[in-house]
A and B are shown apart, each in its own frame.
Chain A
Amino acid sequence: MSDTVIVVLTFALSYGLIIAYAVWLHLRLRKAEG
């Protein structure tokens, strides 16, 4: 795997974690709102 691909995948992993957290917040909010 080339260095650039690993770098792009590292960014994707970071953004993926942030998006997963935002989705989790959204789901918790929907559950709390009933």
Chain B
Amino acid sequence: MRKIRVLLTVAAITMAVGFYFAITAPGDTLQGAYSRIMSVHAPSLWLAFLAFVITSVGSIGWLRTKRPKWDRLAASSVEIGVLFTAIGIGTGMIWGKAVWGVAWDWADWRLSTTAILLFVYVGYLALRSAIDDPVTRANRSAILGMVAVVQVPLVYFSVYLYRTLHQVPSIRPGGSTMPPEMRAALLVNVVAFTVLYIALLMARIHLAKVEEAKTGREMLAGDAITSPRIDEVHDV
């Protein structure tokens, strides 16, 4: 628990540094101050992608080994991925309203596929909460977690497949179209969101362990107070 507290503190400090870099970076010629929103929009969605990839790793790990640690990893990572996707969509809508003139357009592939990504992983969480048996829950959600990850490359490459409103990435393997100060602000925030993701993931996994221990205790207590079966009762 101490390690988690230290990580959360480091995450808070790096997020504060990230905010400073973002807010002091020069504004874009066309977008003005709104270009600074990219320093939270892009890192949150990149980390959401990572979170869903980690979920698929946990899902495969569970299906192969049936060890609870993999199920805990998958379920914990989804929750943070959903949070980061919601932040990415929310900040993108505010930026879009100011720069594009519209907050949302269902005809845009990047926007639509990201919304579907969010719905599917909210569905993953709903699926988990609908099943009581831990093994059945882990099996079914692992299959969804393993399949749903195909959306990540689909969302990423959607701007190349069919481009409408959303631009292609400013930082890509071939280089960057951003000025150094804006790129630095973006990269500092990527580091900050990565530390935050690790800290929240560890905290969420710890919670899952504590909840499992509690459920185990309750099941044992439930067994102790269950009324005896009729064939066990002799003195009637």
Contact = CB atoms under 8 A, between A and B. Distances in A.
Give the top 3 A-B pairs by smallest Cβ distance, nearest first.
Answer: A3-B33, A32-B210, A32-B211
Contacts of A28: 207, 211
B90 A14 contact: yes
A32 B215 CA distance: 9
Interface residues of A, number: 20
B44 interface: yes
B98 A3 contact: yes
B15 A15 contact: yes
Contacts of B152: none
Interface of A: 3-4, 6-8, 10-11, 13-15, 17-18, 21-22, 25, 28-29, 32-34
Interface of B: 8, 15, 19, 22-23, 32-34, 36-37, 40, 44, 80, 83, 86-87, 90-91, 94-95, 98, 196, 200, 203-204, 206-207, 210-211, 214
Contacts of A11: 19, 22-23, 37, 40
Main DSSP-derived SS at the A contact region: helix
20 contacts: A3-B32, A7-B33, A7-B34, A8-B23, A10-B91, A13-B90, A14-B44, A14-B87, A14-B90, A17-B86, A17-B90, A18-B196, A22-B203, A25-B200, A25-B203, A25-B207, A32-B210, A33-B210, A33-B214, A34-B214
